[in-house]
Amino acid sequence: MTKRDMVLKISRETGIVQEDVQTVIQKALDTITDALRDGDHIEFRDFGVFEVCTRKSRIGRNPNRPENVVQIPERKVVKFKAGKKMKNLVLGGTPRSLPIQS
């Protein structure tokens, strides 16, 4: 699903103008990106958590020429850990009855 597909689906289901939906989705994505850039983590209850982690430097090898060793530097990566409810829905289970939190 692309961002455009999401805009169309939300617009159809809610009756909100596509332009307004696009603006809200883009602002939400920008806010998430800014928070991750600043070192914060983003937590959506029952959905999941986005956080920035640092991968240690390591040695890499070309499988076709294992004698060539390459040093891979330390770097930051964004990780996502799915929440229990989303994990259950995606894996085919049924979500636990969880109270809605605001």
The domain defined by 3-88 folds into: HU Protein; Chain A (4.10.520)
Contact 22, 59 (CB under 8 A): no
pTM tops 0.85, yes or no: no
Q: Name 82's bridge partners.
A: 48
**pLDDT tens, 28-82?**
999 999 999 999 999 999 899 999 999 999 999 888 888 889 899 999 999 999 9
| pLDDT over 90 (residue 97) | no
**For helices 18-37 and 3-14, angle between their N-to-C axes, nearest 10 degrees:** 130
Per-residue burial over 52-78, b = 16 or more CB atoms within 10 Å of its CB, e = otherwise = beeeeeeeeeeeeeeeeeeeeeeeeee
pLDDT band at 92 (very low <50, low <70, confident <90, very high): confident
- Sketch the domain layout of the chain as residue ranges: 3-88
